[in-house]
Amino acid sequence: MNIYKFLELGKKYNDCPNCGNNFIGNGEGKLIVENDTFYRSCKCGFEVTVKENE
């Protein structure tokens, strides 16, 4: 993933839009970045997947 796109998404989804939680790991949430996909989830049930080219 393009670093600028990653930073943009990281900033946008650092805090969960649903509950404001900003923790990753220990069951709090997940952040997974693959070649062209950014995935963020939260313990509250929020999850988002963004494809780099969309």
Query: Residue 7: helix, strand or coil by DSSP?
Result: helix
Q: Which two tokens stand for residue 20?
A: 């404001």
Considering the complex, what minimum distance in angstroms separates the CB of residue 2 from Zn ion?
Answer: 26
**Residues from 1 through 40 that contact Zn ion (CB under 5 A):** 16, 18-19, 21
Considering the complex, what minimum distance in angstroms separates the CB of residue 37 from Zn ion?
Answer: 20
Is 41 in contact with 47 (CB distance < 8 Å)? Answer: yes
Q: What is the DSSP letter of 50?
A: E
Q: Does 50 bind Zn ion (CB under 5 A)?
A: no
Residues that bind Zn ion (CB under 5 A): 16, 18-19, 21, 42, 44, 46
